[in-house]
Amino acid sequence: MNSKSTSSQDAKSSFSMDDFAKALEQHDYQFHKGQVVRGKVETHESDGAYVDIGGKSLAFLPVDEASLRRVTDLSIVLPLQEERDFLIIREQDADGQVTLSVRQMEIKQAWDNLADMQEANQTVQARVTGINKGGVTVEVQGLRGFIPRSHLVERDNLESLVGEKLTASFLEVSADTNKLVLSQRQATRSVAITQIEVGQLVEGKITGVKPFGVFVDLDGITGLLHIKQVSQTYIESLASLFQVGQIIKALIVDIDESKGRVSLSTRVLENHPGEVLENMADVMESAEARSERARKNLTR
């Protein structure tokens, strides 16, 4: 009786173990490329780490996929037994092992962050990593970017910029095309424009004379002296009054920070209509005193 009972228990035990093994083999863990899974790092190796994500085999994370930045010590970026998310970048092999990445997740997060910063018109710190014919390459939050020469403050000695951190604004942010283009000059203008105000007398150099107005460089900011703001009287031609390189003083009458536009006026400095045309030198020489009166009129 006892012998039969023992035999029966062994059979049940043997059956349940076989059944468990078959169930384990047939179980679909539903691990797919592109899936984010939760896991814990079990061991560190010279070429990567093994991670428990609940599969029948430990998943593998290559050292190159451990972080967006260069990794010299896996234990710092991936501590043992710390639970976190991982991205599956290669599906199960014959042994049921999948390949994971943290780096790819961080790349997506970095692109999302920069897109949000661009939307909010924020600036970013860009470290110059190299130079080429068109400008400089930069590193921004682990991503590779580019600043065209025309958008640099220092356009001639590019070699001196390598290793430097530049404040830049965004021209193009596209994760789809892996394109990140920035502007140091635009960022510089954005900062400078916050340091000026309506009613302020400024001095600058004329950089362009057009039929509709005069462009003036104000230490990195471009101001426009529209033809209607030059004098209280009619002006037939601005080319007869102004030339490129000429230094003039004018009052700021409007600032559009969102578009980076500054509107200037010499009209408000006149004591009588046409004075700018008749005696430009006198208007410029006494511009400080005249601006006091003009500023009061602007704020009324």
What CATH number does residue 247 fall under?
A: 2.40.50.140
On the question of pLDDT at 2 being above 60, the answer is no
Average of pLDDT values for 8-22? 52
- On whether residue 11 sits in a domain, the answer given is no
Instruction: Report, in angstroms and rounded to the nearest whole number, the Rg of the chain calculated over CA atoms.
Output: 34
189, 212, 238 - which closes a domain: 189
Domain housing 51:
36-101
- On whether residue 161 sits in a domain, the answer given is yes
Q: Based on the domain organization, do 183 and 207 belong to the same domain? A: no
C-beta separation of 269 from 277 below 8 A: no
Alpha carbon distance 14, 10 (integer Å): 6
Both tokens assigned to 210: 């057009």
On the question of pLDDT at 144 being above 90, the answer is yes
Confidence at residue 8, expressed as pLDDT on a 0 to 100 scale:
47
Q: What's the pLDDT band for 11 if we cut at 50, 70, 90?
A: very low
Burial of 113: CB neighbours in 10 Å, binned 0-12, 13-18, 19+: middle
Q: Based on the domain organization, do 137 and 169 belong to the same domain? A: yes
Q: What angle do CA 250, 256, 257 make, to 5 degrees?
A: 110
pLDDT digits (tens, 9 = 90+) for 175-227: 999 999 999 988 887 777 778 889 999 999 999 999 999 999 887 788 999 99
Which pTM does this prediction carry?
0.61
pLDDT digits (tens, 9 = 90+) for 272-285: 999 999 999 999 99
Confidence at residue 84, expressed as pLDDT on a 0 to 100 scale:
92
String of b and e for 139-167 (b: at least 16 CB within 10 Å)? bbbebebbbbeebbeeeeebeebeeeebe
Average of pLDDT values for 242-257? 92
Question: Lowest-pLDDT range, 22-31, 45-54, 207-216, 266-275?
Answer: 22-31
Alpha carbon distance 219, 57 (integer Å): 63
- Among left, alpha and beta (phi > 0; psi -120 to 50; other), residue 121 is left
Confidence at residue 112, expressed as pLDDT on a 0 to 100 scale:
95
Q: Based on the domain organization, do 181 and 224 belong to the same domain? A: no
- On whether residue 30 sits in a domain, the answer given is no
pLDDT digits (tens, 9 = 90+) for 230-247: 999 999 999 999 999 999
**CA-closest candidate to residue 184, choices 221, 215, 154:** 154
Q: Based on the domain organization, do 229 and 286 belong to the same domain? A: yes
- On whether residue 151 sits in a domain, the answer given is yes
Q: Based on the domain organization, do 215 and 292 belong to the same domain? A: yes
On the question of pLDDT at 268 being above 60, the answer is yes
Both tokens assigned to 254: 């409007």
Q: Based on the domain organization, do 170 and 225 belong to the same domain? A: no
Q: Based on the domain organization, do 63 and 83 belong to the same domain? A: yes
Q: Based on the domain organization, do 295 and 200 belong to the same domain? A: yes
Residue linked to tokens 């009619």: 234
- On whether residue 119 sits in a domain, the answer given is yes
Confidence at residue 31, expressed as pLDDT on a 0 to 100 scale:
84
Average of pLDDT values for 283-296? 89
Q: Based on the domain organization, do 219 and 278 belong to the same domain? A: yes
Q: Based on the domain organization, do 126 and 68 belong to the same domain? A: no
Higher pLDDT: 92 or 260? It is 92
- On whether residue 120 sits in a domain, the answer given is yes
Question: Lowest-pLDDT range, 4-8, 82-86, 190-194?
Answer: 4-8
- Could you tell me the sign of the dihedral formed by the alpha carbons of 192, 197, 200, 205, in that order? positive
Higher pLDDT: 105 or 133? It is 105
Q: Based on the domain organization, do 206 and 289 belong to the same domain? A: yes
Alpha carbon distance 270, 273 (integer Å): 7
On the question of pLDDT at 172 being above 90, the answer is yes
Confidence at residue 25, expressed as pLDDT on a 0 to 100 scale:
52
Both tokens assigned to 190: 């954005």
Q: Please tell me the total count of domains within the chain.
A: 3
Q: What angle do CA 87, 117, 178 make, to 5 degrees?
A: 50
Residue 297: CB partners within 8 Å, gap ≥ 6?
268
Longest CA pairwise span in the chain (Å) = 130
pLDDT digits (tens, 9 = 90+) for 124-134: 999 999 999 89
Would you mind telling me the total number of residues written for the chain in this entry? 300
On the question of pLDDT at 19 being above 80, the answer is no
